[in-house]
Amino acid sequence: MPEIVIDRQSVAIDWRHTDLYRFFARIFAPPLRETFEFLARPSASEDLSDLWNSLGCEAKFPGFTWFAAYDLYEAAYISLFDVGLPEPAVPLFESAHDKRHPAQEVALENTYFYDLLGLKSDPATGVPDYLITQLEFLSAVTFIEENSSNDATRRSLAGAKSDFLKRHLQNWVPTAAAKLKKTDATGFPVLMDLLLQFLCVQAATSQHQSA
């Protein structure tokens, strides 16, 4: 699937043919100026409203506002997701929200899924249960699935994706979304709601395709 192209002036977005796993991975990755500029565009709210509707969100699109300056965006990201005592308001790690399992167990189970496809998380960019790592893994699985000519392989990959979504992303992203809403942060709660809805759609689709 083609990757979204972020441009300072305008972006023609065909959400149906955009790799949304990678899109959300970039949106929630550590601050980049191009991400800030993409979301600061006057048309960003309209674009995200289109995505909201295409994903079938039940509620009315709440609107979208973004930061007036890059340093405000960077500071908000750090305070929300990176720094805090005893932890950030909304850590972007599964183990920070799943209190039923030890952090090492959560990381190992994520790694097990990556190993199935011979993929490994890069310790320089994130641990196995980091949101960005999980989304990049699902992007890779989807790419392989869509480019396989073998029906059995596609069903197997769809099954692995469905299982991973259920056991991991859907295990903690709803909790993170609920915590994020309580912060009254700018922009990010809407983006997290979009991610959550996308994951729900993908889980249902993958379960159907694996049957």
- In this prediction, residue 142 carries a pLDDT of 92
What are the pLDDT digits (tens) for 80-125?
Answer: 999 876 778 999 999 999 888 888 898 888 998 888 877 766 665 5
d(C-alpha 133, C-alpha 7), whole Å: 24
**Cis-peptide into 86, omega within 30 deg:** yes
- Mapped onto helix, strand or coil, the DSSP state of residue 4 is coil
What is the share, in percent, of the chain residues with pLDDT greater than 90?
Answer: 61
Per 3-state DSSP, the chain is made up of helix, strand and coil in percentages (nearest 5) of 65, 0, 35
d(C-alpha 189, C-alpha 195), whole Å: 10
pLDDT at 5 over 50: no
| Distance (Å) of CA 105 to CA 74, 101, 161 | 31, 6, 19
- In this prediction, residue 189 carries a pLDDT of 97
Q: Mean pLDDT, the chain, as a whole number?
A: 88
- In this prediction, residue 85 carries a pLDDT of 67
Q: What is the pLDDT averaged over residues 171-184? A: 94
d(C-alpha 132, C-alpha 110), whole Å: 12
pLDDT at 210 over 90: no
- In this prediction, residue 126 carries a pLDDT of 66
To which residue do tokens 């990201």 refer?
A: 77
What are the pLDDT digits (tens) for 36-77?
Answer: 999 999 999 999 999 999 999 989 999 999 999 999 999 999
- Mapped onto helix, strand or coil, the DSSP state of residue 162 is helix
Confidence of residue 4 (pLDDT cuts 50, 70, 90): very low
Give burial (CB, 10 Å; 0-12/13-18/19+) of 22.
buried
The 8-class DSSP code of residue 7 comes to -
Q: What is the pLDDT averaged over residues 180-194? A: 95
- Give strand ranges (E) for the chain: none
| Between 119 and 184, the higher pLDDT residue | 184
**Residue ranges per structural domain of the chain:** 15-210
- In this prediction, residue 2 carries a pLDDT of 37
For the entire predicted model, the pTM comes to 0.89
Q: Where are the alpha helices (DSSP H) in 43-187?
A: 44-54, 70-77, 103-116, 131-146, 151-164, 170-183
Looking at domain 15-210, does it have CATH number 1.10.3480.10? Answer: yes
What are the pLDDT digits (tens) for 120-159?
Answer: 666 655 689 999 999 999 999 999 988 888 889 889 889 9
